[in-house]
Structure 1
Amino acid sequence: MTQTAVDLGPDAKSAICEALNQSVAETAVATMLAQNFHWNVTGMAFGPLHALFQTIYEDHFIAQDDLAERIRALGGHAEGTLAGMLKRSKVSEYAESDGLDAQVMIKALLEAQETLAATIGGAGAIAADHGDTLTEDLAIARGQTHEKFAWMLRAHLV
């Protein structure tokens, strides 16, 4: 049975909002990761990587808002601090001491996309368990986007 945000019980809303906050946190960290790489990429693949990294961070910026607004629609609190997001996120900031090599950037962003796909997939499963098809649909679309970005990044590593 499909349920709307109004129909969900407090336990369902809490579980879904927690999973969505995890997704927001990781998306926010991945946004900055892609933007950092966009600013600092060099080398023979500068043009295509500069553009790809921009496409990713622009997508992720919008996604953060979509996910946070779904949390609010469910009556939850959307984590809005960088410190809170960094603490929660399984996606890590890029340590510039690792060097600014394009291949390292691609691998780091690929790992972030794979993590995001898994996290949002988990959020979708939680939503499905509670009959929240609207959040499940959002999660499916986001998961597909992260898998596509992972494929695009992986193509640069051949």
Structure 2
Amino acid sequence: MKPNIGISEQNLEGVIKILSTLLADEYVLYTKARNYHWNVIGMQFNDLHKFFQTLYEELNEYVDDVAERIRTLGGNAIGTLKEFLEATRLKEHPGEYPDAKTMLSNLLNDYETIIRNLRNDIVTVSEKYQDLGTADFLTELMEKHEKTAWMLRAFLS
């Protein structure tokens, strides 16, 4: 049954497409943080191992929240690795096990990429698709990512 929430079916489809891409980005970032948690080495091992765990636990919640927003709007959430890799705007680095500083830098780049994309998506969702609920949802998520990006920059300074 399609939702009857004051947003046209065509607009809902546009919002769901944006959210599906975001879902893929969040899942790829989750996977990267998990990978770095497993593979970090060096003098800051303990701190970074815990920090990366905090990141992937937060990202796991974000993945679930985005998927549930898609379902709320009547869409189906993508959920396979193939779909995530086809839809993501982030870059993976298979077979690479960088040093801790590069791990932090890679994560910062990905968080900032998501933030920039969210900033554009918020405008599109609110102005083009007239979905203020999703715009609010994306704004809150962007603010969370901005805080994490600040922490990553602090680690790198």
Aligned to 1:143: 142
Out of 91, 99, 102, the position equivalent to 1:101 is 99
Q: Give 1:24's aligned amino acid.
A: L
Deviations 1:84-129 (A, max 9, x none): 11111111223333x3300110111111101111222233222211
Q: Aligned residues, how many? A: 154
Aligned to 2:82: 83
CA contact (8 A) 2:11 2:130 kept: no
Distance of aligned partners of 1:112 and 1:5 in 2 relative to their CA distance in 1, 3 Å threshold: farther
Aligned to 2:116: 118
Query: Cα distance, 1:156 vs. partner?
Result: 1.6
Deviations 1:54-87 (A, max 9, x none): 1111111111111111111111121111111111
Question: How large is the RMSD of aligned CA atoms in angstroms?
Answer: 1.5
Q: How does 1:1-158 map to 2 (within 5 A)?
A: 6-97=5-96, 99-129=97-127, 130-158=129-157
Partners of 1:25 and 1:106 in 2: CA distance: 20
Partners of 1:70 and 1:5 in 2: CA distance: 15
The runs of 5 or more residues in structure 2 that have no matched partner are none
> Please, what TM-score do these two structures have when normalized by structure 1?
0.90
CA contact (8 A) 1:22 1:119 kept: no
> Please, what TM-score do these two structures have when normalized by structure 2?
0.91
Percent identity at matched positions?
36
CA contact (8 A) 1:24 1:64 kept: yes
CA contact (8 A) 1:26 1:90 kept: yes
Between 125-134 and 84-93, the greater mean CA deviation after superposition: 125-134
Partners of 1:69 and 1:81 in 2: CA distance: 16
Q: Give 1:118's aligned amino acid.
A: R
